[in-house]
């Protein structure tokens, strides 16, 4: 019976709908008399209005039509809602069924997209023998790359990147994990003898990073890039890329790292850091491609494998949550239509 459905509708959406006993409507009695009747479902707003009463038949048709529509809407909507699970449910389901998520979760590796990577190039260059022992260097020489050589303008140091032309007086956390083959005195002494040594400028930059002095580190690394011959340029480019990445200049870091990879495509570190950068930029496909490159160059690098699982898991979770949000939007849309129909129905019975 439509009437039952109607009352239900009122009840669901308009919690307490006060049914006034005073409102009546007209009925035709068995004897053909027209009289007012109490307690009808078709309550007229104006019980004395006979014309309105005569439209009742049409109204009945309208009401049943709306009711049928509404029942269909309600069925659709219930189906939609029953298929929607909550966000924690989605997450839990993915975490316990998806192979990437399970592998990421079960790995003992620490996943850190800001994991420090640096290259002091000492596997290629053996400089130590050319330098006196630290104890034989008289006094403390201040390691100031800016004073050692002037660097007026160099296309090699990316002058179009604004972040590299600004002062770097941001707080830089010390990087004690950076260990160098030379002491700062040896580096300074070496630079006093060879003012164009990219290798020593690169070490000087790493030294200042380990001390948390970002401006000095930038001054030195720019000189390292400037003086490095093509075959070695990837090393200071990678180090500057990592600095930009750690300074959260992510887009600029990507430019530097791409350049480092162009110079040395066979070295896995550049691919690895670039993968982390793309992950932070939310470009998961590129990130995965870069992890794959790194793994292609170093099959045994399990940390990269873990990071890759993590990023895949993360991107799937993001996708599922996006889908969830979309179904909510659709369901809410249907709910609004349903409510509007319901309102029309209620208005019509007056």
Ligand X SMILES: *[C@@H]1O[C@H](CO)[C@@H](O)[C@H](O)[C@H]1NC(C)=O
Location of structure tokens 């990147």 = 161
Of 211-240, binders to ligand X (CB under 6 A) are: none
| Residue 197 near ligand X by CB under 6 A | yes
CA angle 169, 174, 249 (to 5 degrees): 50
Nearer to ligand X, 222 or 331 (CB): 222
Q: What sign does the dihedral 233-234-238-241 (CA atoms) show?
A: positive
Residue list 277-316, contact with ligand X (CB under 6 A): 285
- By CB under 6 A, is residue 317 in contact with ligand X? no
- Report in angstroms the alpha-carbon separations of 57 from 6, 62, 63, 113, 234: 17, 9, 10, 71, 86
169 binds ligand X (CB under 6 A): yes
Nearer to ligand X, 54 or 332 (CB): 54
Least distance (Å) from ligand X to the CB of residue 275?
15
We find the least distance from the C-beta atom of residue 301 to ligand X, in angstroms, to be 23
Helix axes 198-210, 214-227, angle to 10 degrees: 160
Query: Dmax of the chain from CA atoms?
Result: 128
Could you give the string, one character per residue 321-350, with x where binding to ligand X holds by CB under 6 A and - elsewhere?
---------------------------x--
DSSP annotation string for 1-61:
-HHHHHHHHHHHHSS-----TT--EEEE-TTS-EEEESS-SS--SSTT-HHHHHTHHHHHH
Q: Which of 198, 269, 272, 291 binds ligand X (CB under 6 A)?
A: 198
When asked if residue 122 is in the footprint of ligand X (CB under 6 A), the reply is no
Q: Which stretch binds ligand X (CB under 6 A): 101-109, 166-174, 178-186, 325-333?
A: 166-174
Question: What's the CA gap between 176 and 347, in Å, rounded?
Answer: 74
Find the part of the chain contacting ligand X (CB under 6 A) among 32-40, 143-151, 194-202, 258-266. 194-202
Residues that bind ligand X (CB under 6 A): 55, 58-59, 62, 167, 169-170, 194, 196-199, 285, 348
């Amino acid at each position: 019976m439509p009437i039952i459905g109607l009352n239900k509708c009122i009840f669901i959406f308009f919690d307490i709908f006060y049914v006034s006993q005073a409102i009546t409507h007209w009925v035709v009695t068995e004897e053909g008399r027209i009289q007012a009747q109490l307690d009808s479902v078709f309550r007229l707003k104006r019980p004395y209005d006979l014309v309105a009463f005569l439209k009742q038949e049409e109204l009945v048709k309208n009401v049943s039509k709306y009711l049928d529509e509404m029942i269909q809407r309600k069925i659709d909507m219930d189906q939609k809602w029953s298929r929607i699970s909550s966000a924690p449910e989605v997450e839990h389901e993915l975490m316990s069924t998806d192979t990437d998520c399970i592998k990421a979760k079960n790995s003992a590796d620490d996943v850190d997209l800001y994991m420090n990577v640096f290259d002091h190039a000492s596997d290629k260059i053996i400089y130590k023998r050319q330098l006196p022992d630290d104890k034989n260097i008289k006094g403390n020489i201040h390691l100031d790359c800016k004073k050692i050589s002037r660097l007026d303008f160099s296309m090699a140091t990316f002058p179009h990147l604004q972040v590299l032309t600004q002062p770097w007086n941001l707080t830089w956390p010390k990087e004690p994990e950076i260990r160098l083959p030379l002491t700062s005195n040896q580096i300074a002494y070496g630079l006093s003898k060879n003012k164009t040594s990219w290798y020593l400028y690169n070490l000087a930059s790493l030294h200042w990073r380990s001390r948390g002095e970002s401006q000095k580190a930038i001054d030195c690394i720019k000189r390292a890039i400037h003086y490095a011959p093509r075959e070695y340029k990837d090393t200071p480019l990678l180090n500057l890329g990592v600095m930009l990445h750690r300074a959260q200049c992510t887009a600029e870091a990507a430019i530097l790292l791409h350049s480092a990879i162009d110079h040395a495509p066979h070295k896995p570190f550049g691919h690895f850091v670039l993968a982390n950068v793309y992950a932070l930029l939310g470009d998961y496909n590129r990130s995965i491609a870069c992890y794959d490159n790194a793994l292609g160059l170093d099959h045994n690098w399990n940390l990269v494998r873990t990071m890759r699982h993590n990023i895949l898991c993360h991107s799937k979770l993001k996708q599922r949550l996006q889908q969830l949000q979309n179904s909510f939007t659709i369901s809410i849309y249907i709910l609004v239509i349903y409510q509007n129909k319901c309102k029309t129905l209620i208005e019509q019975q007056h």
